[in-house]
Chain A
């Protein structure tokens, strides 16, 4: 009955070898973490999460610069994070001695938010800088961390 079975066995061996080769190759090529959470490389999550940060976050600033925080708390700029104006300073937070933030040009920095624009919310303080200061640096009159110009009387009253 199985007179000419040899060629069938030969074929079966070839298929078996190909199958084993496929399984070994697949195990070598597919990353270990592929399929850990879904149809993707699970290790990619950790790789993306381990990138360094550029912005330190205001909590990092406030651990040292408490004097500035006290000033900000007296005015409306308390809600503005330090790095919103001063820029990304994680390097400064890591090594305060060697990396120093740049001095800001208030004529430019303040205008980014406070230059008048019809699309800005109506309650937001806006000025046309050309009319308001004529290009003069804002910190000539305003203290940027506590921008409201207060009279001597209201200053003693503190924040309401």
Chain B
């Protein structure tokens, strides 16, 4: 095809329109999902957790988490009768394969699943020098892989130890609250497979979400409340020894 002056004048606006879409990036995956209508969090019911490790395995599979790294993990607390301020905490392979019986089965024993708390005032996003990590308008802390430098500021800033550097990509990685699932109307992979309902995804902006009733009728706490991070992972029945 010869490019005549007339053809070029026709093609130029079309190319300009196409280029606009190239620059704008991938379009939103779920067109019916509205960012402003949600405020995501999670409820963890400690007395229901059986430490089976289903959540840890499901998370690794759903999100391609490298071996030896965890976006969510389970800790087993052992509090001896006479030392509540010094609990013994273990998490073999993040609890992926369950837990062997504890050598000393006296005292108090329980499981605590951990994950990113999706803080409303998250320390990790505040320290990012390039804007590679951010709180979305629907309250999820995400990492933009293509923008992350791998400087590790955020890994150090997270008071909950929820971040790591992916050894393959050398970028920061963390729980995304299965953002690719919740925007499609599914629950997170960990909540999907939790056999006892110890983990429940919660939409704090949805007045019909059972979380509101639960928060009203139970004594619920977040981790490290004194740090004022605005954590949105709520723990029910949490022992005072949990850090």
**Cβ contact within 8 Å between B146 and A113:** no
**Cβ contact within 8 Å between B62 and A79:** no
**Cβ contact within 8 Å between B144 and A41:** yes
Taken residue by residue from 85 to 100, chain B's Cβ proximity to chain A (1 for < 8 Å, 0 otherwise) reads as 0000000000000110
Which residues from B are CB-within-8-Å of A34? Answer: 131
Which residues from A are CB-within-8-Å of B98? Answer: 112, 115, 117
Q: Which of A65-73, A94-102, A118-126, A134-142 lies at the interface with chain B?
A: A118-126
**Contacts A84-B195, A88-B58, A118-B109 given: A46-B142 contact, CB under 8 Å?**
no
**Cβ contact within 8 Å between B52 and A81:** no
**Cβ contact within 8 Å between B189 and A44:** no
Q: Interface on chain B toward A: helix, strand, loop, or mixed SS?
A: loop
Which residues from B are CB-within-8-Å of A57? Answer: 181, 186-187, 192
B176 within 8 A of A: yes
Q: Which of A6-14, A17-25, A47-55 lies at the interface with chain B?
A: A47-55
**Cβ contact within 8 Å between B51 and A40:** no
Q: Which residue of A lies closest to B134 (CB)?
A: A40
**Contacts A51-B180, A52-B180, A84-B194 given: A116-B101 contact, CB under 8 Å?**
yes
**Cβ contact within 8 Å between A55 and B192:** yes
Q: Which of B26-34, B116-124, B203-211, B225-233 lies at the interface with chain A?
A: B26-34
Total interface residues on B, CB under 8 Å, equals: 58
| CA A40 to CA B122, docked complex, whole Å | 15
| CA A33 to CA B2, docked complex, whole Å | 36
B179 to chain A, nearest CB (A): 5
Taken residue by residue from 141 to 182, chain B's Cβ proximity to chain A (1 for < 8 Å, 0 otherwise) reads as 010101100000000000000000000000000001001110
Total interface residues on A, CB under 8 Å, equals: 41
Can you list 26 residue pairs at the A/B interface with Cβ under 8 Å? A31-B25, A40-B131, A40-B134, A40-B147, A44-B146, A45-B142, A45-B179, A46-B28, A48-B180, A49-B179, A53-B186, A54-B189, A55-B58, A55-B61, A79-B195, A81-B192, A83-B193, A84-B192, A88-B58, A88-B62, A113-B54, A117-B98, A117-B101, A118-B101, A119-B51, A119-B110
Residues of B within 8 A of A (CB): 23-30, 33, 35, 47-54, 58, 61-62, 76-78, 98-99, 101-102, 105, 109-111, 131-137, 142, 144, 146-147, 176, 179-181, 183-184, 186-187, 189, 192-197
For the complex with contacts A37-B35, A53-B180, A84-B195, 12 further pairs of A-B residues with Cβ separation under 8 Å are A32-B24, A40-B133, A44-B144, A46-B27, A46-B28, A47-B26, A51-B29, A54-B62, A55-B189, A117-B99, A119-B78, A119-B109
